[in-house]
Amino acid sequence: MKVKVIGIPVQDQEKALQFYTTKLGFIKKHDAPLGEGNRWLTVVSKDEPAGVEVLLEPSPNHFEPSKTYQKALFEVGIPYTQFNVDNLQEEYDRLVHLGVEFSMKPTEMGNVKIAILDDTCGNKIQLIEML
């Protein structure tokens, strides 16, 4: 088995696409209409365009349990998922300069350094650097 796609629930697919591409630096991989204004919308790392795709999924708008779960995680500050970076301080500084809001600044925890950002679409995302 291989992981090819991982979904992240987003409240607004277009807003999510803009954030994930212009702020986080992902590139759009697939964008296919699914009807009713929904899209099969994925982004990938610019460094691994054939790697795992992140599906920007409109599930909170159509499935109440998804909306409840997403809101509960966000309210207590639990990240929905994490992305690895090579140098967390550099990435943090770059993102702060672009206006990204963080609920946790870079913090060392054992053999990792983490930071948590708000993706503006209903999720906290953890960035992690392996030390």
- The token duo for 115 is 């930071």
Which of the 8 DSSP states describes residue 17?
H
pLDDT at 48: 96
For every one of its 131 residues, what pLDDT tens digit does the chain have, with 9 covering 90 and above? 999 999 999 999 999 999 999 999 999 999 999 999 999 999 999 999 999 999 999 988 889 999 999 999 999 999 999 999 999 999 999 999 999 999 999 999 999 999 999 999 999 999 999 99
Per-residue pLDDT at 13: 97
- Residues across the chain: 131
Q: Return the pLDDT at 108.
A: 98
Predicted confidence at residue 9, as pLDDT, reads 97
SS3 23: helix
